[in-house]
Amino acid sequence: MNYRAVNRIWQSATLFLAPPLIVLLIWFRPAMDLYQWLLCLHLPLLMLHEAEEYVLAPTGFKEFFNLKTPFGSKTDPDFPLDDAYVFQVNILIAYPIVILGAILAGVAPWLGFSMIWFELIINNATHTILFQASIIPSPTSATKCVVRPSWPDRIRAGSPDYAGTASSWTGR
């Protein structure tokens, strides 16, 4: 299977599927229990996160992790994380857990909430705390814009040096 091509399709599709899903969920909100609605809302929010991570970012999370973090190879954009890993983690693990968690909210509320806890602890910790040591912003830097507000302006301005240096982040 050509994981790179398959990943590009689902990663791009998330950008177009999430907004209508949000509208539908808002429309059906009165008919749903609040907890189930929030777990359903988790799916389009995850899709937007994936779009940010893989489509809208200058480099995808996989390349960022492999080339810019202490855990990567620094030279190979496909090691240790590769396209098959991205597919398996997102399509075979994350999406099914989020969908099943929303469907089974009344029966197994822990299932949907387990993915939320995973994202809060693992995903957010790595994206906002662990990668803060890197001067290059991670692909999911939307949360880091609060910490380093000059980053989005550098992207919008088309700065070729969007990552900047330590001094360019502080403006000194």
Question: What pLDDT, on a 0 to 100 scale, did the predictor assign at position 131?
Answer: 63
Asked if residue 171 is part of any domain, the answer here is no
What is Dmax (Cα atoms) for the chain?
A: 55
Residue 19 main-chain phi, psi, to 5 deg: -60, -45
Domain-embedded: residue 168 = no
Residue 99 belongs to some domain of the structure: yes
The 8 Å CB, 24+ separation contacts for 6-13 are 6/87, 7/54, 7/83, 7/86, 7/87, 10/50, 10/90, 10/91, 11/50, 11/51, 11/54, 11/55, 12/51, 12/55
Treating both helix axes as pointing N-terminal to C-terminal, what angle do 95-103 and 109-118 enclose, rounded to 10 degrees? 140
Instruction: Flag whether 165 is in a domain.
Output: no
Number of domains observed in the structure of the chain: 1
Burial of 70 (0-12, 13-18, 19+ CB in 10 A): exposed
- 146 belongs to a structural domain: no
Mean pLDDT by 10 residues, the chain (172 residues): 95 96 96 93 94 88 87 90 94 94 92 87 74 56 44 41 41 42
Model pLDDT, residue 142? 53
Give a yes or no: residue 109 inside a domain: yes
Provide DSSP, 60-123.
-HHHHHHHHSTTS-SS-TTSSS-HHHHHIIIIIIIHHHHHHHHHTTTT-HHHHHHHHHHIIIII
* Host domain of residue 33: 3-140
Query: What is residue 161's predicted lDDT score, i.e. its pLDDT?
Result: 42
- Is residue 166, in this structure, part of any structural domain at all? no
Instruction: Assess if residue 39 is contained within a domain.
Output: yes
